[in-house]
Structure 1
Amino acid sequence: MWHAIGQRWKWVRSRHRPGRIRLTGRQWGALVAFAATAVVVAVGLGVPHTASPVPAVSVERARASLARLRVIERRPAHDRDYHRDAFGPAWTDDVDVVGGGNSCDTRDDILARDIPGAVRIRTTACPEAVASGTLTSPYTGRSVAFRRGRGSAAVQIDHIVPLAYAWDMGAASWGGPRRRSFANDPANLAAVDAASNQSKSDAEPARWMPPLRAFHCQYAVQFVTVLAAYGLPVDAPSRDTLVNALKSC
């Protein structure tokens, strides 16, 4: 889906005797290049990548679906009774959607889909879980290193149509199985950088769109497709945002 090439870098520490060290022009050039690369790697970001073109047929389907969606004036006031558990256990494999029942939890399924070429290991949640790799976050176009364990929080799984938004727009009336399917449907999920996911929170398109403008088209296509598939309406301000995003395709 989104591709990235990972690189491993090693910091080498050494001790030198006190005194002045003279470097040649070539050595200075190498040192500057290494330092610049080290800074990029240290903050977990690489050179931005350009979003892949979206197939014209997908764009046309999304435009047609958006035109058919029920539109409400604004998103209702958030229901304070909403809680994440209403959509079932996080990343449960016990769902009737693509990937459900395959012996891997949903998080591992999405990591495997969105981090191609990753190193795999066996865990209690998945026999071929992603151990490490490099994600190109679709929301920023930048590379993020993933390593299972302490570093795993650098990559998070985002609900493109947020669960809280879905709840406010009608999912509160759904049965438990439908809500669990919605929360674990790969069509509504993407592995992204942590900062973008936290910045978005549960915001609808009128209040948040990916920082990478080149990804607005794909984001709009997926947002509309999920709303249509689950029979959810769209708020008028977000409808306008999505219309403009689809015009950019």
Structure 2
Amino acid sequence: MAGVAAVALLAGCGPVETGGLGDTGGGAGSGGKGGGSTGVSPLDNPDGTGRGLGAITSGKDRAAAVKLIDKVPTKGRGAKTGYDREDFGYAWADNAEDIPFARNGCDTRNDVLKRDGKDLKYRSGSNCVLTSMTLEDPYTGKTIEWSKSDAAEVQIDHVMPLSYDWQMGASRWTKAERMRIANDPLNLLPVDGSANSSKGDSGPATWLPPSKTIRCAYAVRFAQVALKYDLPVTAPDKDAMLAQCR
């Protein structure tokens, strides 16, 4: 059982639980040295290839964010019956179709660590497998000095969780379509492991990043994934997303 738990953590799949809405400010967390929003605004990063998740702060950009979120349709969350992570392909497959970074010879996890990390160091003889890096975590504002020896300190979050996708319509997709959303960099963020574990498969109505400054950007990214894959969100989740940007 311990081996299974370790694999789940490395895959960025924390325990499935309903997290509360944290109220930490946007500065560094208790374990961080700096922090906050050092990435690209999702409004300027519609394919997810730019670094991290930058805050949305100006009135003009927040209005654009509300307009985008408004486009997302709503419906009730379906049953989780039949959901299995393996229905979305093996974790961090490099052979999904029609998404950035696919088939580049590196697995998806290392692709997004490389995208968002700084001071990257690789395993000897490899230009894919990272052994250490510095991550400015958008969810908590912490600066994390990560090493592969403590791999679970940074997990890869599916912004729109895979079981949420399943309940909102992905259960009817082909496996190839599910592999796309599971490995699409638009839907993936390396983040503080404990924050990701607290999220589980929650939508924005029951979990938001602890750092308030990033919540509008998080809502936009959630909406971008939903719109790209023609998935609805629940009405409470949409209300929560809109509230972050108004």
After TM superposition, the score normalised by the length of structure 1 is 0.74
Which residue of the partner structure matches residue 89 of structure 2?
88
Q: Distance in 1 between matches of 2:139 and 2:167?
A: 24
**CA distance in 2: counterparts of 1:104 and 1:137, whole angstroms:** 22
Identity %: 35
Report 1:33-112 matches (<5 A). 45-51=31-37, 52-54=54-56, 59-72=62-75, 74-76=76-78, 78-96=79-97, 97-112=99-114
Equivalent residue number for residue 191 of structure 2: 192
CA contact (8 A) 1:146 1:152 kept: yes
> Is this contact kept in 1: 2:68–2:220, CA < 8 A?
no
Note the residue ranges of structure 1 that are not aligned, 5 or more in a row: 1-42
Deviation of the 1:119 alpha carbon: 1.1
Once residues 124 and 114 of structure 2 are traced to their aligned partners in structure 1, the CA distance between those partners, rounded to angstroms, is 13
Structure having the higher Rg: 1
| Structure 1 residue 47, shift from structure 2 partner | 3.2
Deviation, 1:122, is 4.8
**Could you tell me whether the CA contact under 8 Å between 2:154 and 2:190 is conserved in 1?**
yes
Other-structure match for 1:140: 140
1:224 aligns with 2:227: no
Q: What does 1:110-129 align with in structure 2 at a 5 Å threshold?
A: 110-122=112-124, 127-129=127-129
Any conservation in 1 of the 2:111–2:128 contact (CA below 8 Å)? no
Please state how far the C-alpha of 1:92 moved relative to its aligned partner: 0.3
Q: Count residues in correspondence.
A: 200
Cα offset for 1:60? 4.9
For 1:46 and 1:144, the matched residues in 2 are separated by 7
Contact 1:156/1:194 (<8 A) preserved: yes
For residues 223 and 129 of structure 1, do their structure 2 counterparts lie closer, same or farther at Cα, with a shift above 3 Å needed? same
Contact 2:170/2:178, CA 8 A, preserved across alignment: yes
In the alignment, structure 2 segments of 5+ residues that lack a partner are 1-28, 38-53
For 1:170 and 1:195, the matched residues in 2 are separated by 28
Distance, in Å, in 1 between the alignment partners of 2:64 and 2:187 is 17
Structure possessing the higher relative contact order (Cα contacts under 8 Å, 6 or more residues apart): 2
Residue-by-residue CA offset, 1:179-227 (whole Å, 9 max, x unaligned): 0000000000000011001000100001100001111011011000110
Shift of the 159–131 alpha-carbon distance from structure 1 to 2, 3 Å rule, reads same
> Is contact 1:44-1:143 (8 Å) kept?
no
Change (3 A) 1:48 1:163: same
SS at match of 2:191: strand
In 1, Cα distance between the equivalents of 2:61 and 2:95? 29
Counterpart in the other structure of 1:20: none
